[in-house]
Each structure stands twice: as structure tokens, then as C-alpha cells.
Amino acid sequence: MLDHNQTESVKLVWVTPKAEEVIAYCARVSNPQNQDNPEMTGLLSYCVEQGHWSIFEQANMVIEIVTSRGIAPQILRHRSFSFQEFSQRYAKTDTYINYSPRRQDLKNRQNSIDDLDEEIKTWFQESQDEVWEFCYKRYQRALEKGIAKECARFLLPLNTQTKLYMNGTIRSWIHYIKLRTGHGTQLEHMRIAGECKKIFYENLPVISKALGW
């Protein structure tokens, strides 16, 4: 059995230096006599409470996300962000992510319930390994035959690993985290958003507290 099974990961690449100070400074553009005021907690809390979201566009954050080709399109749907994703047209891929299954919710087609017995979960995970081994061998053989990477990749399953860089304003991150950590998001995507929320809190603690995080 090929051992290329990987896990999802989320990590900070870059955030605007002194991001909260920059946001507070720009928010006081109409109050130049007080623009250098180092106190920002009250101001940023007020902006959150009053819904003055545009000021949070004055700083950015870039996060690296390692996930699968099945989850990546859900993330890429957030068009206020700028993305760079690993190109399977340019580089050879050789890893996948093995997911645990859940039962289909018959009342909500976009929901699943984590109550399957261990035997079914094991079967599903072993099936992913088997599918990957078969598809990856065919993928490698296609490359050996001179088939272009952009064509050979069609042989790979949706749990093939991908990596992307997600760059957005703090306003965009607030919206993304609120939406994707909430009900209605696929669990695998929700976990990624939860890790993004942790990074947000670590680097933007004043704004996070104002948001109730």
C-alpha cells in the first residue's frame, strides 16, 4: 500500500505589522489631532458594535491551507480573497487525505451526522486507501507515457491533497470565519475555519474580543 496519506493544516504566512494599530490610525482620519492616540480598544470595539466594517479593510492577513481538492472549491468560493493554489498542471502530486465518513442527514441534503459505527468508518477509510493506490499508479503510468500533467491529473480522486494561500483584508476574514465556523458548513471546512479563527485571535486580540471571540 502506498503511504502518501497526509492531514490538513492551517498556518499563518503574514499579517500586516501592527495591524490593529494601523486600523485604528486609519479610522481616525477625520480626527487628525487624535490620530496618533495609542488607545484603540474602545475605538475598534465601537466600530464592530456599529458595523463600521470598511475600516477593517486597512490591514491584511495571508494564511496557508493544506486540504483536499474536494474542500478547496468551497474555500475558493470566497471571492473577496486573493488565492494562489498548488498547480497540478505544473507540478506532480503524490499525497492524499483520508477522511472519516458520516451518515447522510435525510432532512437536510447539505448536512451529515457523525453516528456511523466503526466498522463502516473503517471500510470507508480503507476504501479511500485502495482507490488512491489504484488511481495514483495509473497517474504515474500516464506521466511515464508522456501524458501531460494537466491531463494525467484527471485520474486522481477528490481527496488528492492541495495547498493554497488565502489573502484577504481583516474585514474579509471576519466574514469568512463567522460564516464558515457556523452551522451549514461541511465539517472538514468548518475545522479549517476554526484554525483560521485561532490564528486571527492570536494576531488580532483586540478585534477578536470585540467580536466576542
Q: Give the largest Cα separation in the chain, rounded.
A: 70
Instruction: Considering the candidates 69, 109, 180, 191, report the single residue annotated as catalytic.
Output: 180
Based on the number of CB atoms within 10 Å of its own CB, is 21 exposed (0-12), middle (13-18) or buried (19 or more)?
Answer: middle
Cell, residue 67? 486540504
Residue 66 CB partners (closer than 8 Å, separation 6+): 6, 7, 8, 9, 10, 161, 162, 163
Pairing state of beta strands 103-104 and 112-113?
Answer: antiparallel
Distance in angstroms (rounded) separating the CA atoms of residues 24 and 12: 22
Q: Let me know if 138 is a catalytic residue.
A: no
CB atoms within 10 A of CB 3: 7
Please report, to the nearest 10 degrees, the dihedral formed by the alpha carbons of residues 45, 51, 54, 56 taken in order: 30
Residues noted as catalytic:
180
